[in-house]
Amino acid sequence: MPILIASLATIGPIGIDMYLPSIPAMAISLGSSEGAIQLSLMTFFVGLMLGQLIYGPLSDKFGRKPLIYLGLSIFVLGSIGCALAQTVEQLQWIRFIQGLGGSIGMAMAFAIIKDKFHGPAMGKMMSMVLAILGLSPVIAPLIGDGLQALGSWRNIFVFLAVYSAIVLITAAIFLPETRQTELRKDFKLSQTFYHYLNIITDKKFIIFALTLCIAQAGFFAYIAGSASVFISEYHLSSTQFSLLFAVNAFGLIAAAIFNPKIHEKFGPLNAYKIFNTGFLLVIGLLFICFILGLNKLFILCLGMFFSVTLLGFIMPTGSQLSLMFQHKLAGTASALLGSLQFGFGAIITTVTGIYASSGSIGLISIMLICAFISALMCLFLFPKTLTNYH
């Protein structure tokens, strides 16, 4: 069960990570700029954003499995379309369709866990799935690089189509319907917009959610821009970039392991403030180094590793704070938070694509702006303690 649920959850993330080392090669193949290829990440994020909003309520009404069939089928078709794309414009539009299908994995995986498991068993299953999911950014770029080495970047999207088809067939055979019939009958789709409106106007949600989304936008900028910086500017091979990306992903995994212990010591609110301040300091120092001409590869790698690791603390802590007070509508709030995150991801990847020609200093500047705004929101908008919100 954890392997099946994790396989479902990885559909969206591997759709992001697997083709990153191939961005420069794709630009040459399609006769476009690397910035234009990066914009296909933006359209993918838009698909993920809209899918989160749509699949959650529909699965509450009609069950998890019918929506899994629908979403994965769309992802399979989108992946085949990407493999056949002849222009960058075609790639960008088809990536939107692929993202719309790919969002089903994240939307359904955690809903299934909430349906089927309770108490300690739920926590254990969530941890197992997240541990498997954490390997995705380590393994996916390396697999993508290997597939490209076999002949073409198009092999990556063929692999995604086959992988998602296998997950679809496996889910059809082994995954039970976890949404109870009584709950489906009682759920009213007409109330969905009203629930979304209530949550987004709740200051106990929106302040934490927006702060998280802006900080996480720095992470999405790193995802979108790092391949062009390391491969095109610093002349790393696609394999070297994939290994570097994997090392930074280990920073994310380490953060996930140590995050609960830091919460126990400082509490999630203070921990978030500490992490966000650290992120601002690290990326600020990196910016100063590059302004002073110390734009060495080692300094960039070191700064990015610590920035990504700190974001590995920020992202789960921000999610926890955002959803902490949404007891009655936790599922709807989670879907809305996911949509906001990918919405900001779409915006920042557009900006990163436009400024792709600015190279490393452009990427660092975008991440610094995200860290600075998020830190200001922590300072002026966050409560002193969480008891103020009870």
C-beta of residue 112 within 8 angstroms of C-beta of residue 64: yes
Contact criterion met (CB below 8 Å) for 115 and 179: yes
- Under CATH, which architecture does the 191-390 domain have? Up-down Bundle (1.20)
Nearest-angstrom CA–CA distance, 193 and 3: 33
pLDDT digits (tens, 9 = 90+) for 38-64: 899 999 999 999 998 888 888 888 888
Alpha carbons 273 and 360: distance in angstroms, whole number: 27
**Size (the chain), residues:** 390
In this predicted model, what pLDDT tens digit does every residue of 92-129 receive, in sequence order? 999 999 999 999 887 788 778 778 877 667 667 766 77
Judge whether 1-175 and 191-390 match in fold: yes
Q: Are 166 and 45 in contact (CB under 8 A)?
A: no
Mean pLDDT of 155-180: 93
What is the predicted pLDDT for the residue at 276? 95
Residue range 289-329, pLDDT digits in tens: 999 999 999 999 999 999 999 998 898 888 888 878 876 66
- Residue 388 banded pLDDT, cuts 50, 70, 90: low
User: Average of pLDDT values for 346-362?
Assistant: 91
pLDDT in the model for residue 123: 61
Tell if the pTM clears 0.85, that is, is over it: yes
Class of domain 1-175: mainly alpha
> 154 pLDDT band (50/70/90 cuts)?
very high
Q: Which of 78-87, 121-130, 238-247 has the highest mean pLDDT?
A: 78-87
Alpha-carbon distance of 111 to 341, in angstroms, equals 18
Cβ within 8 Å of residue 376, ≥6 positions away: none
Q: Are the C-beta atoms of 158 and 58 separated by less than 8 Å? A: no
Domain ranges of the chain: 1-175, 191-390
